[in-house]
Amino acid sequence: MVLIVQRAGYTLGMTTKPGHRVLPFPDRRAAGRMLAERLAEAVDLDQWTERTVVLGLPRGGVAVAREVAAALGLPMDVIVTRKIGYPSQPELGVGAIAEGLREPVYDVRMLDRLGRIYRGGSPLPPVAGWCVIVVDDGLATGSTARAALRSLRAAQAAYLVLAVPVAPWSAAESLRAEADQVIIVATPSRFSSVGEWYLAFGQLTDADVLALLG
């Protein structure tokens, strides 16, 4: 089953409840807290007691995931992914690589290096039989999230939830076959980039990710 929260297109300043502004998000922390509210309403976590983990997609998704994990009282970690950018537009993802996903576009040395950076050499947490909530700060094409979800499915995760604050409806639709539930706070009708829907959207460094994970 896939559940998309708030399908209707949003515009700047639109609200879902009195005094509760949706877009633009003040920053990733605020987006994470709002996303946690939607997850609590939409996902039945009682059946996954002590078998649910939140995994953030680096780098920005880790900042959102930290707030989600804190609000829901869940353990948090990172799943290493890297977007493959279009040469003239690096921010436009045309593919992605993810640890554990054995597909033709796969750079073992890069992923091993990133794994050492983010987790100090520790492996991906065991996910077989678990409910896994994959969090990013937003979707553009969805390629990075797709790679992460497929790698977790290959690792035999029992239930996959993709949770992001903002995404175009087309990207959400394209991920229907990859996750059991997709939770999105807002799907703007006009979408150019994730950053346009945040007031503060500074680029995070690997040091920032380590601090969040710590």
31 within some domain: yes
How many whole angstroms separate alpha carbon 129 and alpha carbon 131?
A: 7
Residue at 195 is within a domain:
yes
Using CA atoms, how far residue 123 sits from 89, 99, 104, 158, 208, in Å, is 32, 10, 22, 19, 20
pTM (2 d.p.): 0.75
Q: Is residue 110 part of a domain?
A: no
Residue of 33, 141, 39, 38 lying closest to 85 (CA atoms):
141
What is the total count of domains within the chain? 1
> Would 113 be classed as within a structural domain?
no
Angle between helices 60-72 and 28-42 (to 10 degrees): 50
Q: Is the residue at 157 inside a domain?
A: yes
Give the per-residue pLDDT at 80: 84
Does residue 132 lie in a domain region?
A: yes
Q: Is residue 72 part of a domain?
A: yes
Residue 49 belongs to some domain of the structure: yes
- Confidence (pLDDT) at 8: 34
pLDDT value, residue 160: 97
d(CA 139, CA 96): 13
Q: In this structure, are residues 202 and 190 in contact, taking their beta carbons and an 8 Å threshold?
A: no
185 vs 7, 28, 122, 123, 125, CA distance in Å? 9, 13, 32, 31, 27
CATH code at 163? 3.40.50.2020
Along the chain (214 residues), what's the average pLDDT of each consecutive run of 10 residues?
35 37 87 96 94 94 97 94 57 63 50 68 88 95 88 95 94 90 92 92 85 85
Residue 69 domain boundaries: 15-81+125-201
pLDDT, residue 37, reads 95
